Structure 1
Amino acid sequence: MNNSIISKNCVIGKNVTIKDGSIIGENVIIEEDVYIDYGCIIKDNVHIKRGTFVGARCILGEYLVDFFDDMKNKNHPLIIGQNSLIRSETIIYGENIIGDNFQTGHRVTIREKSDIGNNVRIGTLSDIQGHCKIGNYINIHSNVHIGQKSIIKDYVWIFPYVVLTNDPTPPSEQLLGVTVESFAVIATMSVILPGVHIYEDALVAAGATVNKDVPKEVVVAGSPAKPICKVSDIKNKISGEKVYPWRYTFDRGMPWNNVGYEQWAKNNPYM
């Protein structure tokens, strides 16, 4: 802990590593087996649960805009779930709740008042603009922008350079977030316009501009996006086998890994 500054009223568990140049603020809780790399800033009211790694030069508990009224940090707690992996130079604002097994790439930004579930991965340089609801087992790849008031449900894939917008008449104060239902896939460089609802198992093709709701199990493509087929019509270009719904053919990183979705779902009837 040489050359680090640690407030007196912190709670630090066993087997915690805090590397040089880090600053730990007031009312911080760091549970056991946490590793904080060089030059991190952990601001007030942050709770880091056990087994988490925080990469170099991260800022956790960043100030909200009300700090600038009087240059005083208000009580905006941040909770980071256990066994998380937060890579270098990520910035996470206060007033967020993040679940277990969370992962970021480098230089991710997460603004305030979001609720993020378990087993969520957010890729390098992605920007979560706050006031969002993000479910479990979500994969958000690099350079993705998630606008305020977005709702992303469980088992969604969002690929690089996707933008979820929220302002129907920019600039305005009337925001309409995008809703993405479970098992949907949004491919690279797609833009989803404000208030659009993408339903379960839908597929948005690469480069699409989506200005209307996407029905369940439908593929849309183009600008503006239009339905082109059902997801069940798509086949693997190499094997010729059906690909979608993807949960029956892909299991890496999913709770049904090495079990199969059908067998797993029998024990999880809520799905």
Structure 2
Amino acid sequence: MKPLTKIHPTAIISSNAKIGSNVEIGAFCIIYDNVDIGDNTIIGPYCELGVANGISNGEILKIGKNSHIRSHSIFYEASFFDDGLVTGHRVTIREKTLAGKNLQIGTLSDIQGHCDIGNYVRLHSNVHIGQKSKIGNYVWIFPYVVLTNDPHPPSDTLLGVTVKDYAAIATMSVILPGTTIEEGVLIGAHSSVKGRTEPNTVYVGNPAKKACDTSKIKLQDGSEQPAYPWRKHFHRGYPEHIVKEWLKN
């Protein structure tokens, strides 16, 4: 084990776990065998990392460097998170989740495993990501959104949702099994979406219907500038080189 900046005396860490340099581990954490924690990472109190079950096959849980996992969060083994993972409190992540850089997961959210998630994805609080979901890059999913997967529950049929780059799904929406949210789509609050959407389009309602192109929506800041694509005006939390590409294109 490499030197730790701070490890609370109540934490239980397997001698088989790999802990990077400058890592902080809080009170009453449990770190199991098949865990690899990258440098400069903070693990808050009461977290449990590397939980095994019958389908994780003893595979590694990899947490990339410069991550921050807040208190009472649970991560199963057999998942990979690239650098810069940030969570709220009481997050649950099941096995075989593969995520890119700078994933942010809000408090009380859960990812039900067997999911692929791209770079710079933002999941707000109380978001449920069902098994077999595929989420692209720079996606925003707001509070109480549910991505479902069972077309005739309860059954053993799983049809995951696909959400493509730059899409935004507003609060309390439900995305039904097998649905594809295309690039740049905006799903309005309280919507129920099924089927395949068109890129850069607004969908609202239950059942959700096409409302307009996203370019029709204006910022409510007095500028009357288009609100979408959002990456033309919203840059907080994104690296400078990515923002330059957005503005250039």
TM-score by length of 1: 0.88
Give the Å deviation of 1:210: 0.3
User: Which is greater in Rg?
Assistant: 1
Whole-angstrom CA distance in 2 between matches of 1:256 and 1:151: 26
Q: Which residue of 2 aligns with 1:269?
A: none
**Comparing 156-165 and 233-242, the one that deviates more:** 233-242
Match of 1:6 in 2: none
Q: Is the 8 A contact 1:33 1:50 kept in 2?
A: yes
Amino acid at match of 1:58: C
Q: How many residues align?
A: 248
Other-structure match for 1:250 = 234
Output one character per residue of 1:95-120: Cα deviation in whole Å (capped at 9) or x when no partner. 00111000000000000011011110
In structure 2, how many angstroms separate the alpha carbons of the residues matched to 1:203 and 1:83?
Answer: 31
Instruction: Please tell me whether residue 58 in structure 1 is matched to residue 47 in structure 2.
Output: yes
Residue 13 of structure 1 deviates from its aligned partner by: 1.1
| 1:206 shift after superposition | 0.5
Structure 2 segments unaligned to the other structure (5+ residues): none
In the other structure, the counterpart of 1:203 is 186
Q: Alpha-carbon deviation of 1:14?
A: 2.3
Deviation track 1:66-93 (CA, whole Å, cap 9, x = no partner) reads: 69xxxxxx62211000000000000000
CA RMSD of aligned residues (A): 1.6
For residues 122-271 of structure 1, the aligned pairs below 5 Å read 122-239=105-222, 240-256=224-240, 260-263=244-247
1:38 alignment counterpart: 27
SS in 1 for 2:62: strand
Partner of 2:99: 116
1:98 aligned to 2:81?
yes
For residues 202-232 of structure 1, the C-alpha deviation after alignment (integer angstroms, 9 at most, x for no partner) is 0000000001211100000000000000000
Conservation of the 8 A alpha-carbon contact between 1:248 and 1:261: no
Q: Is the 8 A contact 2:146 2:173 kept in 1?
A: yes
SS in 2 for 1:232: helix
Q: 1:223 to 1:183 in 2, by over 3 A?
A: same
- Helix, strand or coil: the match of 1:133? strand
Structure 1, unpaired ranges of 5+: 1-11, 68-73, 266-271
Aligned partners of 2:105 and 2:246: how far apart in 1?
Answer: 27
Report deviation, 1:264.
Answer: 6.2
CA distance in structure 2 between the aligned counterparts of 1:227 and 1:261, rounded to whole angstroms: 29
Distance (Å, rounded) in 1 between the aligned partners of 2:46 and 2:84: 20
Runs of 4+ displaced beyond 2 Å: 255-265
